[in-house]
Chains A and B, each alone.
Chain A
Amino acid sequence: MTGSDLRIRDLAAGYFPGHLVLHGVNLTAASGRVTVILGPNGAGKSTLLRSVAGYVTAEAGQIWAGDAEITRLPAFAHIEQGIGFLPQGRSTFPDLTVAENIELGGWIFRSDRRRLRAALDRVFARYPVLAEMRDRPAGSLSGGQQRTVEIARLLMADPGIMLIDEPSVGLAPGIARQVYRELKAFRDEGRTILLVDQDVRAAIAIADYVYVLSSGRNDVEGDRSSFEGDLGAMVHRWLGV
């Protein structure tokens, strides 16, 4: 599926009414590009992603996916709009098998078993290593293998916009590099990627455009070249040292 632009305008959101984490954030994630959100801890990066995904309700502002406004779209309805979300941390269903985990990624096709089967075959063809372990409980896999299951599950619905929260957390460097290669492949397929990651260097390496948040507000932004210079200075500034 080809992605569409994701536009966020003056977004204010937080986990409790009256206690905002985001204070009027603006962002555009262009179609077919990787847009990275950076910032120190507490900047509101994950909150921004969860607001776009519908898990945190916006108190003000607007979110658009292409021509559709999704500001108040419930979280479960995002995937039907072609917006996939990979949450932070482990998100497999540990007691279900690999095949069952991935199959649930096609929940929105549940009334069309032929389409569901075709999507499952397509995903297993893309990740043959998962096909080999299809009957193993997902909880018995390594961290990297579970992350692959989560990505495969995300692909079942073939989303045009992907919201990816901290994909490399807890993974060995080699596995993390594989995950980033996959994200590049998704971008090359024309999908819109909005990525939050603590690994600043790795995130900038695949970014087409970068936004830096600070205390829930836009700080600086620019294309990758603007950030490829002195990353150390930027991180030092976040840390206040």
Chain B
Amino acid sequence: MLTSALQVIVDGILLGLVYAVAALGLSLVLGIMGVINVAHSAFIMLGQFFALEMLERLHLDPVMSCLLAIPVFFGAGALVYRLIITRMERTEQNQGLVAMFGLMVLIENVGTILWTTNTRVITVPYSYYQMHLGALTIPGVRVVVGLLALLLIGAFWLFLTHTLTGRAIRGMAQNRDAAVAVGIRVPRLSMMMFALGIASAGAAGVIIAMVFPFAPQTQIEWLSWAFLVVILGGFGRVENTLVAALLTGLVQTIATALLPFDYVYLLLYVALATVLVARREGLRGVMRRTI
């Protein structure tokens, strides 16, 4: 009984880390810049296929692909910022939302043309390796995924809290005029923050591809999970995203162990509704801000 409970908790934590990494960029871009980037999951999908292509064409292990994805997707994020976000700065928030939705649809369709709608999986030598800790059995690949997720989340937390540039980004989110007065180039740091959000989405895609099957059209499921975590934990803080994601993972695995499958999502969305009723603000606080 105790072993089963421990197994469920470990599984929940590992699943929560995957959700945390999926939601990280969405939370930061939303909280710091006020941009509701609904195309976030499309970049997660691109990250998944990036891992697949790297593995099939260059025989590159996903761990290496994850590191490589960060600069590649950072560049893609900077491009999206220059091409789309800067044009939305003076418009209503709704137009920015529509633009990002259009980008999501575009990326998904391009993904379908390039990779079809077939579901893919990534298999690496350690995919079937099982770690045994006492009576607990943990898939080795999940441990690798958990460590990569922690590394990515930790790197973002360290950057935002322990570097001057990270603190400038946080300051910019809190008082734009004051940030400008001290000499911060707000558009440049905004581009960096948005690009980092996309970089985290790309890296998250690689990490997720190691443990979940994927196809271009399944990206929307990750948008749901990411939004669930962001709404539960609030946005703009790495630590809040991590805690909300771990709770989501734990609730999901515990509910799966105790309840019929159909009730698991019901439980999660009741929790979400409760949080929204209790906190009231939800996404409206962000909707009032301009991009």
Q: Do A and B come from one complex?
A: yes
- Least CB distance from A46 to B in Å reads 12
The answer to whether B167 touches A79, judged by C-beta atoms less than 8 angstroms apart, is no
- Cβ of B180 < 8 Å from any Cβ of A? yes
The answer to whether B174 touches A93, judged by C-beta atoms less than 8 angstroms apart, is yes
Interface pick from B13-21, B38-46, B181-189, B207-215: B181-189
How many residues of B sit at the interface, in one of the four size bands? 10 to 19
The answer to whether B178 touches A87, judged by C-beta atoms less than 8 angstroms apart, is yes
- Cβ of B142 < 8 Å from any Cβ of A? no
Expressed in whole angstroms, the Cα–Cα distance for A116 and B177 within the complex equals 22
Contacting residues, chain A, for B182 (C-beta < 8 A): 79, 104-105, 107-108, 153, 156-157
Our pick among B165, B168, B171, B180 for the contact of A75 (Cβ within 8 Å) is B180
- Cβ of A213 < 8 Å from any Cβ of B? no
Our pick among B170, B178, B184, B185 for the contact of A92 (Cβ within 8 Å) is B178
Identify the closest chain B residue to A86 (Cβ).
B181
Contacting residues, chain B, for A94 (C-beta < 8 A): 174-175
The answer to whether B177 touches A55, judged by C-beta atoms less than 8 angstroms apart, is yes
The answer to whether B175 touches A76, judged by C-beta atoms less than 8 angstroms apart, is no
Identify the closest chain B residue to A75 (Cβ).
B180
The answer to whether B181 touches A93, judged by C-beta atoms less than 8 angstroms apart, is no
Expressed in whole angstroms, the Cα–Cα distance for A92 and B181 within the complex equals 11
- Cβ of B164 < 8 Å from any Cβ of A? yes
Expressed in whole angstroms, the Cα–Cα distance for A156 and B177 within the complex equals 17
Chain A positions 152 through 166: 1 when the CB is less than 8 Å from some CB of chain B, otherwise 0: 011011000000000
Expressed in whole angstroms, the Cα–Cα distance for A76 and B172 within the complex equals 12
Our pick among B171, B177, B179, B183 for the contact of A157 (Cβ within 8 Å) is B183
Contacting residues, chain B, for A107 (C-beta < 8 A): 164, 168, 182-184
Contacting residues, chain A, for B184 (C-beta < 8 A): 76, 104, 107
Contacting residues, chain A, for B168 (C-beta < 8 A): 104, 107
- Cβ of A176 < 8 Å from any Cβ of B? no
| Number of A interface residues in the complex (CB < 8 A) | 32
With A104-B164, A104-B168, A107-B168 already in contact, the answer to whether A96 and B183 are too (CB < 8 A) is no
Expressed in whole angstroms, the Cα–Cα distance for A153 and B180 within the complex equals 13
Expressed in whole angstroms, the Cα–Cα distance for A80 and B183 within the complex equals 7
Expressed in whole angstroms, the Cα–Cα distance for A92 and B177 within the complex equals 10
The answer to whether B167 touches A103, judged by C-beta atoms less than 8 angstroms apart, is yes
Chain A positions 102 through 131: 1 when the CB is less than 8 Å from some CB of chain B, otherwise 0: 011101101000001000000000000000
The answer to whether B183 touches A95, judged by C-beta atoms less than 8 angstroms apart, is no
With A76-B186, A104-B164, A107-B164 already in contact, the answer to whether A95 and B180 are too (CB < 8 A) is no
The answer to whether A53 touches B170, judged by C-beta atoms less than 8 angstroms apart, is no
Our pick among A75, A100, A103 for the contact of B181 (Cβ within 8 Å) is A75
Contacting residues, chain B, for A75 (C-beta < 8 A): 180-181
Our pick among B164, B171, B177, B183 for the contact of A87 (Cβ within 8 Å) is B177
- Least CB distance from A25 to B in Å reads 22
Expressed in whole angstroms, the Cα–Cα distance for A156 and B183 within the complex equals 12
- Cβ of A77 < 8 Å from any Cβ of B? yes
Expressed in whole angstroms, the Cα–Cα distance for A85 and B183 within the complex equals 10
Expressed in whole angstroms, the Cα–Cα distance for A153 and B175 within the complex equals 14
- Least CB distance from A85 to B in Å reads 5
Contacting residues, chain B, for A93 (C-beta < 8 A): 170-171, 174-175, 178-179
- Cβ of A91 < 8 Å from any Cβ of B? yes
Expressed in whole angstroms, the Cα–Cα distance for A178 and B184 within the complex equals 29
The answer to whether B180 touches A96, judged by C-beta atoms less than 8 angstroms apart, is no
Expressed in whole angstroms, the Cα–Cα distance for A69 and B181 within the complex equals 18
Contacting residues, chain B, for A105 (C-beta < 8 A): 182
- Least CB distance from A100 to B in Å reads 5
- Cβ of A44 < 8 Å from any Cβ of B? no
The answer to whether A100 touches B177, judged by C-beta atoms less than 8 angstroms apart, is no
Contacting residues, chain B, for A84 (C-beta < 8 A): 181
Contacting residues, chain B, for A157 (C-beta < 8 A): 182-183
Contacting residues, chain B, for A110 (C-beta < 8 A): 164-165
The answer to whether A96 touches B170, judged by C-beta atoms less than 8 angstroms apart, is yes
With A91-B177, A93-B175 already in contact, 12 other A-B pairs whose C-beta atoms are closer than 8 Å: A75-B181, A77-B183, A84-B181, A85-B181, A87-B178, A92-B178, A93-B178, A94-B174, A105-B182, A107-B164, A107-B182, A157-B183
A residues adjacent to B (C-beta < 8 A): 53, 55, 75-80, 84-87, 91-96, 100-101, 103-105, 107-108, 110, 116, 150, 153-154, 156-157
14 A-B pairs whose Cβ atoms sit less than 8 Å apart in the complex: A55-B177, A75-B180, A76-B185, A78-B183, A79-B182, A79-B183, A80-B183, A93-B171, A95-B170, A96-B167, A96-B171, A104-B167, A108-B182, A150-B178
6 closest cross-chain pairs (CB), A and B? A93-B171, A91-B178, A79-B183, A93-B174, A108-B183, A85-B181
